[in-house]
Amino acid sequence: MSNEILIARENGVLTITINRPERKNALTPAMYQAMAEALASAQEDAAVRAVLLRGHAEIFTAGNDIEDFLKSPPTGGDSPVIHFLRTISTFEKPLVAAVAGAAIGVGTTLLLHCDMVYVADTARFAMPFAQLGLCPEAASSLLLPRVAGYQGAAEKLLLGETFDAAEAHRMGFVNRVLPAAELDAFVSAQLAKLVALPAASLRVTKALMKRASEHEIKTQISEESVHFGTRLLAPEAREAFTAFLEKRKPDFRQFD
Domain span holding position 88: 1-179+198-256
Question: Would you call 45 helix, strand, or coil by DSSP?
Answer: coil
Q: What is the pLDDT of residues 45-85, one digit of tens each?
A: 999 999 999 999 999 999 999 887 777 777 667 889 999 99
- pLDDT score, position 75: 65
Q: Is residue 156 part of a domain?
A: yes
Q: How many Å apart are CA 214 and CA 185, to the nearest integer?
A: 32
| Consecutive H or E run containing 10 | strand 5-10
Cβ count within 10 A of residue 22? 8
Q: Is residue 144 part of a domain?
A: yes
- How many separate helices (H) and strands (E) can be counted in the chain? 11, 10
Q: Is residue 235 part of a domain?
A: yes
Would you state the torsion angle of the CA atoms of residues 215, 216, 222, 227, taken in this order, to the nearest 10 degrees?
A: 170
pTM for the model: 0.96
Q: Is residue 23 part of a domain?
A: yes
Q: What is the pLDDT of residues 155-176, one digit of tens each?
A: 999 999 999 999 999 999 999 9
Q: What is the mean pLDDT of the chain?
A: 95
- pLDDT score, position 242: 87
Q: What is the number of alpha carbons within 13 Å of residue 147 lying toward its C-beta? A: 24
Domain count across the chain: 1
Q: Is the confidence at residue 1, as pLDDT, over 50?
A: no
Q: What is the number of alpha carbons within 13 Å of residue 164 lying toward its C-beta? A: 5
Q: What is the pLDDT of residues 199-232, one digit of tens each?
A: 999 999 999 999 999 999 999 999 999 999 899 8
Q: Could you tell me which residues come within 8 angstroms of residue 125 by beta carbon, excluding any fewer than 6 positions away?
A: 102, 103, 104, 107, 108, 162, 163, 164, 165, 167, 168
Q: Is residue 187 part of a domain?
A: no
Write the CATH number for 122. Answer: 3.90.226.10
